[in-house]
Chain A
Amino acid sequence: MSFRPCGNYHQYYRQDHAWWQTKFVWGKMILLGIFVFYLFPNFAGMYLISIANVVGYTILSAMGVQLLIGYCGQVTLGHAAFLAMGAYSCVLLMLQLHIPYPIAMIIGGIVGGLWSILFGLPSARVKGFYLIMTTMAAQFLTVEFFITQYVSQIGGRGVAFSIPPGTVKIGPWMIKNDRDVYYLMAILVILFTFIMANLIRSKIGRAWIAIRDNDIAAETMGVNIVLYKLLAFFVAGFFGGMAGAFWVTSLAAVSPEHFHFGWSLWLVGVILIGGVGSIHGVIFGSLFMTLIPEGLKFLIFVLTQNPIFVNLMPFLPLLLEKFLFVKEAAFGLAIVLFLIYEPNGLSYRWWQIKNYFNLWPFSY
């Protein structure tokens, strides 16, 4: 349906570069836009909206991880550190210097990017496992040491920086409840996806992909490896910082626990389950990783309401009580099973299904 007849009938480069090339895709996108900006926020309950916010936050955070791992081949296990730098610089600028939120957010992104370059520097010398170690060290040095022990002391507010209501506003638009956060999230997700997709199909993106596929070959072809690797770290850190600064809106207080090592690993898990090297993968992975635990929780909750199941499986109430741990174990198992049985992730499956229906009923 989104396929067109054989041959290229474009008359202008503009048509060739267009994201949505057929009327059908335009229609789909407009429907999606109506759903995202009108139907969902107006008709879904507050609970669903708050879940959607978590999904959006995961998408924003995992975008940088996808860029680094999926497109540039530089594995990062410390992305939460860059999120934390963005969030903290944004909050500090707002609370200490009373800088308006949008500017603080962008500065937060830049700080995250520069911080990311700092820990990406070893990538000029080492790669693979050694780089994983460096980014992991970034996590511990930044969050557990620098932020917890030094940044948190600024202003004498204690470990958690609470954000007074009404601080976060963009011009006249005050972001005060989940629905406002949702709109901001939707705008940012679209913006990030757009930037990312355009970067990937530009010269920069091609250089990144060349480095990912074979860095030595890329170097012999004239790609400046160090420059492009550091650029990838900067952009990923910028995305991370912006994501952290965005999440400030829905947190009552920013504290180091929001950016622990587990969250970094979680983000890598998101892109592995969604599909490495695909922007769809980020979105699918975030949806999967947020909705499945919620669904699991709901399932266990429903089962505990019925005495038959409780008698059958007496450990159910305990599971509900300790759901956090169940979620963690399920997440670990999901990653392992996905890597063993579905190494291309959800986005590959999506692509297959789409292709099947594109050619349906005459698929070969």
Chain B
Amino acid sequence: MEIFLQLLITGILVGSIYALVALGWTLIYKCSGVLNLAMGELTLIGAYVCLTLYHWGIPFLLALMITLIIGFILGILTEVLFLRPMVGEPVLAVIMVTVGLAFFFKGLVMLVWGTDTRVFSPTVFPQEPIFIGNIVIGQVFIWAFIASIILLIAFVTFFKYTKWGLSMQATADDEMAALSLGVNAKVVYALAWAIAFMAAGVGGTLLGNINGLNISVGYLGLLVLPAVVLGGLNSVPGAIVGGLVIGIIQNLADFYISRYTPGGVKDVFPFAVMVIILLFKPYGLWGWVRIERV
């Protein structure tokens, strides 16, 4: 039971990072209908930028802030340069643009920062674990959880209460109606990408703090997909719940199922879950069921 609780809590803490990145993913999909497969590379860029800044001697919080700003700028640039010409093109073409971007970003990251694992040194968060009853949790996890929750709340607040957030919601709901009411769709798309870049950058930084940073952190971008499929593609609460659930499932599977296989199931189990969801409940928990007509 203790082990179970331990796994559950670690799962929730890691899952909060997934939830953050999944939120960014869902925002892009909701606002502009683009299915972004480059999310992993966005996390890589953010994480490496933050790491570089940190190694230059900038305090971690400040470095994170600068990463957010750089992510904002890069997000808008990406949207304007690569995604805007594709508005109105077939879905597959847009998806493949994001795949192309993924390759492009990944190549650039490896070119600039190499493939070796890098760690944040000196470590950002204290090393001593925290004991809650019999459960041991590394402080990194707690801080990552707190950071993701703060950002999640910030993004959701932005989405619900500010003018731009509301116009994003309007665009997501009905683009034509929003346009006719004077919402500037271009700004909304760019904003969605900017937020996704920011969320991904923070997610990558936090994950890099836990395990060290190398190209495999980009795998996070793929793990987001089971999360959003579980929650339903166009649901913000769905993305958050999906991220948490995938985090938990991954941790539990790693402990309970990995021992029966030669090499562990941690990396592939979320995808197995995803296939099962797709077979039985393809629109996820809160996604819109699409009724198609000819």
Chain A interface residues (CB < 8 Å from chain B): 69, 75, 77, 119, 121-122, 125-126, 128-130, 132-134, 136-137, 140-141, 144-145, 148-150, 153, 214, 216-217, 220, 262, 265, 268-269, 272, 319, 322, 324-336, 339-340, 343
Q: Which residue of A214, A324, A339 contacts B86 across the interface (Cβ within 8 Å)?
A: A339
Specify which of A133, A326, A333 is in contact with B111 (CB 8 Å cutoff).
Answer: A326
Chain B residues with Cβ below 8 Å from A325 are 107-108, 110-111
Residues of A within 8 A of B96 (CB): 268-269, 272, 335, 339
A-B contact pairs, 12 of them (CB 8 A): A125-B282, A133-B229, A134-B278, A136-B271, A214-B294, A216-B294, A269-B103, A327-B107, A336-B97, A339-B96, A340-B82, A340-B86
**Residues of B with C-beta under 8 A to A137:** 271-272, 274-275
Q: Which residues of B contact A330 (CB under 8 A)?
A: 107
- Verify if B62 is at the interface (C-beta below 8 Å from A): no
The residues of B that contact A329 with a CB separation of less than 8 Å are 103-104, 106-108, 111
Tell me whether B103 and A140 are in contact (CB under 8 A): no
Complex Cα distance, B261 from A343, in Å, reads: 45
Say yes or no: B105 contacts A332, CB within 8 Å: yes
Q: Which of A77, A128, A134, A150 contacts B275 (CB 8 A)?
A: A134
Q: Knowing that A136-B225, A269-B96, A336-B97 are A-B contacts, what are 4 other residue pairs whose CB atoms are under 8 Å apart, sorted by A's residue number? A: A121-B279, A216-B292, A332-B101, A332-B104
Is the pair B278, A122 in contact by a Cβ cutoff of 8 Å?
Answer: yes
Q: Quick one: given A328-B107, A329-B107, A332-B105, are A339 and B100 in contact (CB under 8 Å)?
A: yes
Does B92 sit at the interface, judged by CB under 8 A? yes
Instruction: Give the residues in chain A near B279, CB-CB below 8 Å.
Output: 121-122, 125
B104 to chain A, nearest CB (A): 3
Nearest-neighbour CB distance to chain A for B36, whole angstroms, equals: 11
Bound-state Cα–Cα, A262 to B102, Å: 10
Which of chain B's residues have a CB closer than 8 A to the CB of A332? 99-107
Q: B111 touching A129 by the CB < 8 A rule? A: no
Per-residue CB contact flags for chain B residues 88-128 toward chain A (1 = under 8 Å, else 0) read 01011101110111111111101100000000000000000
Q: Which of A130, A150, A336, A343 contacts B100 (CB 8 A)?
A: A336
Cβ-closest chain B residue relative to A214: B294
The answer to whether B20 has its CB under 8 Å from any CB of chain A is: no
- Known A125-B282, A129-B233: A331·B275 in contact at CB below 8 Å: no
**Chain A residues, Cβ within 8 Å of B265:** 145
Would you call B152 an interface residue if the criterion is a C-beta within 8 Å of the partner chain's C-beta atoms? no
Residues on the B chain within 8 Å of A125, using CB: 278-279, 282
Q: Are B294 and A133 in contact (CB under 8 A)?
A: no
Q: Contacts A141-B272, A144-B268, A332-B104: A149 and B261 contacting too (C-beta < 8 A)?
A: yes
**B residues adjacent to A (C-beta < 8 A):** 35, 82, 85-86, 89, 91-93, 95-97, 99-108, 110-111, 222, 225, 229, 233, 261-263, 265, 267-268, 271-272, 274-275, 278-279, 282, 292-294
- Asked whether, in the complex, the Cβ of A343 is within 8 Å of the Cβ of B89, the reply is yes
For A69, A126, A339, which residue has the most chain B Cβ atoms within 10 angstroms? A339
Whether the Cβ atoms of A149 and B102 lie closer than 8 Å is no
Considering the complex, give the chain B residue whose CB is closest to the CB of A119: B275
> Are A130 and B278 also in contact (CB < 8 A) when A140-B271, A216-B294, A332-B106 are?
yes
Which residue from A119, A140, A327 sits with its C-beta under 8 Å from B268? A140
A144 to B263, CA, bound (A): 10
- B93:A343 contact, CB within 8 angstroms: yes
* Shortest distance between the CB of B59 and any CB in chain A (Å): 31
Q: Which of B95, B103, B294 has the most CB of A within 10 A?
A: B103
Q: Which residue of A lies closest to B271 (CB)?
A: A137
Most buried by B among A69, A141, A150, A269: A141
CA distance A148 to B264 in the complex (A): 11
The verdict on A144 contacting B86 (CB below 8 Å), with A150-B262, A339-B93 known, is: no
CB-defined contacts of A272 to chain B, threshold 8 Å: 93, 96
Q: How far is the CB of B260 from chain A (nearest CB, A)?
A: 11
Query: Which of chain A's residues have a CB closer than 8 A to the CB of B99?
Result: 77, 265, 268-269, 332, 335
